[in-house]
Structure 1
Amino acid sequence: MSSTNHSVRDSSWISWFLGLHGNEFLCRVPPDYLEDKFNFTGLESLVVNFSHALDLLLDPEYDNQGWDNGVDTTDAEQLYGLIHARYILTPRGVEDMCLKYERGDFGSCPRVYCKGQKTLPVGLSDQFSQKHVKVYCPRCHDVFHPRTRFALLDGAMFGTSFPHMFFMQLPNLRPQPPQEKYVARLYGFQLHQKALMPSESPEREPRNSGSSLSKSTFGNLSSSMASCAPSLHPIKF
C-alpha cells in the first residue's frame, strides 16, 4: 500500500522537509528505500557532504530549530531530491504519486481545449540546479509553469522521465488528445497561415547609399559624356 501513511507525530527530517511551504509536489520516500545503499549508487559524487546529508534523511528525531544553530541542510535537500526522482519511477513511487495526481495536487493544464486536464511534475534536466520544475499535460503533451508556490522546486527532483514512466505503468489513465483546436478568424473568415506569421522586416539601406549612388551616377554620366564627345586631332599646317 502507499507509503504516505505515516504517524502524525513523526518528527523526522523528511517530515519537516515535506511540510515546508511549496514542497507539496514531493512524496515521502519510505525508510526501507533510503536504507538500501544500492539506491544511492552514483549519488555520492553529486552531493558534497553525502554522509551528513544521509544522516539527516535517516534521522527519526530531527530538531527543526537547527536553522538557528547554523545547521545547513542544503546537501540533505539535494540528496532527497535526487533519491526522490529515482523512487517515483518505481511501482511504489508511481502509486504514491498517483494518489496526488488523482487529487489534483499538481494542478491542471491551462489550455482551454484540454478542459482542466490534470498534470504531472516533470524536470527539463536530470542535473540539479539547472531548471525549475514544470508540469506536463498528458492530453496536449506540452509543458507549462506550475503555480507560483511550487515554481522554485528543482526539476531534477522529478527528472525528465517521470510522466512517461507514470503512464507506461498506468496506461488506463492516459487521456485522449483534444478533439478541438483554436482557429484564428477575422470577421468570421479563417485567417491564412501566412497572416499569422511575423512580418519580415524590410532591409535597411546602407547609410552611404545616397552618396555612393551619386558617385556611381556621376561616374557613369561622365563616362557617357566622354564617349559621346568628338575626338580631337592636332591640325597639321
Structure 2
Amino acid sequence: MNKFFFSMMVCLVLMLAPTSSALAQKKTQNIYTCKLVREARSKTPTMYASTYQTQKSDLKKNVAQRKRTRDQKLNDEAYVVPKDSIAISERAYRRGMGTKPLLYSIERRKKDTKVTFLQPIYYSSQWLHYSQGFKIVDQKSGDEYHVRGYDGGASFGKLMIVKGCNSKYVYVSLLFPKLKKRVRKIDILELPHKTDALPSNDDGIPKSYFNIKVEDYLVTSQKNKKIYY
C-alpha cells in the first residue's frame, strides 16, 4: 500500500512539474512585463508634466485675454476730461517722484468741504481713479465724512482719462460733507468700495493721508469773494 501510494505521488509531482521550455517561456513573459512596467513608469511623469504645462499655458492665455477684454471695456466707458477743464499746476513732475497724489489743500465751504490733490501725470494718456470709499475721519471724535463726488460733477463711477499732460501735475478735487468747526486733525482714507472698477495695471496703492492738521492745508476760495470798503 505504501509502495503504491509513493508511486502515485511521484507521478503526480512529475505531471505538475513545469518543463524547461515552460519555465523559459514564463521567464521571458516576466522580463517583458517588467520592461513594460519600467517604460510606463518612465513615461508617466513626462506625460503628466507635458499635460500640466499645456494646461498652465492655456490658463495664462485665457486670464490675459480676459484682462485685455475688461481693460478695453473700462477704457471705452471712461470719461475723457475735456482739455479746457484740466487745471494744470506750475509744479513739474519727473520720473521717480512717485505716483501717489499729493495732498494740496482743504477748503471749508458753506455747504461742503473741498479737498484738492496734485495728481502726477506720467503718460500722454493716463487713467485716474478715486474710489467712492474715500472718507475723512476726525481723529478726536471718530466722526466720518464720506466723499460725495468730484468737484465739477464728473461721474464717480467711471475712470477718468487725462490726455496731453505728460510730466505735469493736475488738480483733482473731491467734495465731502461740511466739517464741524471743532475738527482740527484728520485722516483722509481711500478704502475699497464695491463699485471700484480698476484696470489690471493698477498699482494697488491706496491714496490715504494720516495725521493731517486741517489748518496746515486750509485755504479760502477766491471765487465770488466779497469786497468791502
- Whether TM exceeds 0.5 here: the answer is no
Computing the radius of gyration from Cα coordinates, the structure with the larger value is 2
Structure with higher RCO (Cα < 8 A, 6+ apart): 2
TM-score interval for Structure 1 and Structure 2 normalised by the shorter chain: under 0.3
Normalised by the length of structure 2, the TM-score is 0.19
Normalised by the length of structure 1, the TM-score is 0.19
